């Protein structure tokens, strides 16, 4: 890839897009070198720090990616890149077996972007790896109930929601489903199964 000297954010975004278009997973070193040079040329860019972190992750180098994600956040990464960056960072920390930090990063991403299904999936993975399998399952059940449209699931939402809430709170309650972040607002009286208990 030819060396460029971008001057604007648009130039940087175009440069990153073109670099990723020719990236080859079987030989990631040219992509890594490209983004390393781009970062040397633009040391204060949150966007380029994020792209360089992605390149190291792409190359299977999470130990090099993690501090670059942190650099990007410190430099003010925002918007779509912040959402994707926090998700990738959390996954990277999980791969490094830094489970508590992974959970914290992904919980932050979930607070900032509560409707993002990918964030929830990675948070569930981190929770499971960190020994919190019940919470991991609860997040995935909540996500399923909130986004999957299927008649039997709709009919059983009340009971399944209460079981999900019990995984989080430790005990079953007939109103537990109302506490679920995703499913609670969707609770409908047409849910057929209203007699379940643990």
Per-residue confidence (pLDDT) for residue 184, from 0 to 100: 74
Torsion angle, alpha carbons of 132, 64, 60, 95, to 10? -10
Per-residue confidence (pLDDT) for residue 188, from 0 to 100: 56
Mean pLDDT by 10 residues, the chain (198 residues): 60 95 96 97 94 98 98 96 97 98 97 94 97 94 89 87 87 80 66 43
CA–chain centroid gap for 131, Å, is 18
Per-residue confidence (pLDDT) for residue 187, from 0 to 100: 62
Can you tell me the distance from the alpha carbon of 197 to that of 92, in angstroms, rounded to the nearest whole number?
39
Q: What is the full DSSP assignment across the chain? A: -------SHHHHHHHHHHHHHT--TTS-HHHHHHHHHHHHHSTT-HHHHHHHHHHHHHTT-HHHHHHHHHHHHHTT--HHHHHHHHHHHHHHHHHTT-HHHHHHHHHHHHHHSTT-HHHHHHHHHHHHHTT-HHHHHHHHHHHHHHH---HHHHHTHHHHHHHHHHHHHSS--TTGGGG-TTTGGG--TT--------
Contact call for residues 83 and 99 (beta carbons, < 8 A): no
């Amino acid at each position: 890839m030819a060396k460029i000297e971008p001057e604007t954010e648009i130039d940087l975004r175009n440069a990153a897009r073109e670099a990723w278009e020719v990236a080859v997973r079987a030989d990631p070193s040219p992509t890594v070198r490209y983004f390393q040079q781009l970062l040397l040329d633009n040391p204060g860019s949150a966007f380029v720090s994020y792209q360089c972190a992605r390149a190291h992750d792409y190359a299977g180098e999470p130990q090099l990616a993690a501090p670059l994600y942190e650099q990007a956040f410190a430099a003010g990464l925002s918007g779509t890149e912040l959402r994707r960056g926090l998700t990738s960072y959390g996954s990277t920390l999980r791969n490094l077996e830094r489970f508590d930090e992974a959970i914290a990063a992904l919980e932050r991403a979930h607070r900032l972007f509560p409707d993002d299904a990918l964030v929830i999936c990675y948070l569930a993975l981190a929770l499971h790896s960190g020994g919190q399998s019940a919470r991991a399952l609860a997040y995935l059940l909540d996500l399923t109930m909130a986004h999957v449209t299927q008649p039997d699931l709709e009919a059983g939402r009340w009971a399944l929601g209460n079981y999900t809430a019990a995984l989080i709170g430790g005990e079953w309650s007939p109103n537990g489903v109302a506490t679920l972040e995703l499913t609670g607002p969707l609770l409908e009286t047409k849910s057929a199964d209203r007699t379940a208990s643990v």
